[in-house]
Amino acid sequence: MTAGPARPATPRYDVVVVGAGLAGSLVAKRLGDRGWRVLVLEAGTRTLDSWPGHLDALDTAHAALAKVPNAPYRRNPAAPFPDVLDLTGLPDGGYRADGYFLQNGPLPYGSDHLRATGGTALHWMGLAPRMHPDDFHVRRAYGYGRDWPLAYDDLEPHYRAAERELGVAGDADEQRDAIGLPFPPGYGYPMHKIPRSYLDSVIAARLDGVRLREAPDAPETTLRVVTTPHARNSTPNPGYDSGRGHRPRGAVGTPNYGERCVGHAFCVPICPVQAKYTPLKTQATWSDDVTLVAHAVVSRVLTAGNGRVLGVEYQRYDDPASPAHTTRTAEADLVVLAAHAVENAKLLLLSGLADASGQVGRNLMDHPVLLTWGLLDHPAGPFRGPGSTSGLECFRTGPARRDRAPFRVEIGNWGWSWPAGSPSGDVSRLLGITGDPSQPRGKGLFGARLRRELGHFVGRQFSFQFAFEQDAESRNRVTVDPRHRDRLGIPRPVLTYDLSDHVKRGIASAKAVSDQLFRLLGAEDHTAYAPGTSAPGWFRHGDGAFEFKGAGHAAGTHVMGASRADSVVDPWQRCWDHPNLYAVGCGSMPSVGTSNPSLTMAALTLRSCERMHRDLTELHRPAALRLPEGRP
Partner 1 sequence: MDPHDPVPPPECPGFVDVSVRLTGFDEFTLRGTGLVRLYHDTTVEQVGRAAVGRFLDDLAAAGGDPGGLTDEVSRDIARAITHLWYLGVWPQLSRSVHAALGREKPNTAFTVSPEAYTEGLVWQTFHGHPPGAKAPGFGTWADPPPGAPAPARRTGEDAR
Q: Which residue in 197, 228, 397, 527 binds partner 1 (CB under 8 A)?
A: 197
- Spatial contact of 370 and 198, defined as CB atoms under 8 Å apart: no
Binding mask 64-83 for partner 1 (x = CB under 8 A): xx-x----------------
53 binds partner 1 (CB under 8 A): no
176 binds partner 1 (CB under 8 A): no
533 binds partner 1 (CB under 8 A): no
Asked whether the bond before 185 is cis by omega within 30 degrees of 0, the reply is: no
Q: What crossing angle do the helices spanning 152-166 and 598-620 adopt, rounded to 10°? A: 100
256 binds partner 1 (CB under 8 A): no
Shortest Å distance, C-beta 383 to partner 1: 5
Q: Which residue in 180, 239, 352, 455 binds partner 1 (CB under 8 A)?
A: 455
626 binds partner 1 (CB under 8 A): no
Q: What crossing angle do the helices spanning 424-431 and 447-458 adopt, rounded to 10°? A: 140
Determine phi and psi for 2, rounding to 5 degrees: -105, 150
- Spatial contact of 520 and 207, defined as CB atoms under 8 Å apart: yes
Rounded Cα–Cα distance for residues 264 and 330 (Å): 42
Shortest Å distance, C-beta 259 to partner 1: 9
Please, which residue, 56 or 498, has the CB nearer to partner 1?
A: 56
Q: Which residue in 34, 74, 260, 328 binds partner 1 (CB under 8 A)?
A: 260
By CB neighbour count within 10 A (0-12 exposed, 13-18 middle, 19+ buried), where does 473 fall? buried
- Spatial contact of 79 and 86, defined as CB atoms under 8 Å apart: no
Q: Which residue in 129, 272, 361, 556 binds partner 1 (CB under 8 A)?
A: 272
Q: What are the residues whose beta carbons fall under 8 Å from the beta carbon of 460, sequence distance 6 or more? A: 375, 376, 377, 378, 379, 380, 382
Please, which residue, 259 or 333, has the CB nearer to partner 1?
A: 259
Determine phi and psi for 554, rounding to 5 degrees: -60, 135
Determine phi and psi for 298, rounding to 5 degrees: -70, 130
Q: What crossing angle do the helices spanning 598-620 and 22-33 adopt, rounded to 10°? A: 40
- Spatial contact of 108 and 536, defined as CB atoms under 8 Å apart: yes
- Spatial contact of 521 and 203, defined as CB atoms under 8 Å apart: yes
Closest CA to 263 of 273, 252, 251, 253: 273
Q: Which residue in 32, 190, 195, 279 binds partner 1 (CB under 8 A)?
A: 195
Angle made by CA atoms 283, 229, 469, in degrees to the nearest 5: 95
Rounded Cα–Cα distance for residues 270 and 251 (Å): 12
Please, which residue, 202 or 342, has the CB nearer to partner 1?
A: 202
Q: Which residue in 234, 283, 470, 596 binds partner 1 (CB under 8 A)?
A: 234
239 binds partner 1 (CB under 8 A): no
Query: Which residues on adjacent β-strands are paired with residue 300?
Result: 313
Report which DSSP code applies to 121. G
154 binds partner 1 (CB under 8 A): no
Count interface residues toward partner 1 (CB under 8 A). 70
Q: Which residue in 3, 448, 624, 625 binds partner 1 (CB under 8 A)?
A: 448
385 binds partner 1 (CB under 8 A): yes
Choices 269-277, 285-293, 335-343, 499-507; region in contact with partner 1 by CB under 8 A: 269-277
383 binds partner 1 (CB under 8 A): yes
- Spatial contact of 84 and 73, defined as CB atoms under 8 Å apart: no
Choices 147-155, 241-249, 268-276, 337-345; region in contact with partner 1 by CB under 8 A: 268-276
Q: Which residue in 17, 22, 138, 204 binds partner 1 (CB under 8 A)?
A: 204
Shortest Å distance, C-beta 195 to partner 1: 4
63 binds partner 1 (CB under 8 A): yes
Please, which residue, 11 or 379, has the CB nearer to partner 1?
A: 379
520 binds partner 1 (CB under 8 A): no
Choices 42-50, 150-158, 195-203, 490-498; region in contact with partner 1 by CB under 8 A: 195-203
Please, which residue, 377 or 515, has the CB nearer to partner 1?
A: 377
Residue ranges binding partner 1 (CB under 8 A): 58-65, 67, 195-198, 200-202, 204-205, 208-209, 227, 234, 260-266, 270, 272-273, 378-386, 389, 413-414, 423-424, 426-428, 431-433, 437-438, 440-441, 443-452, 454-455, 458-459
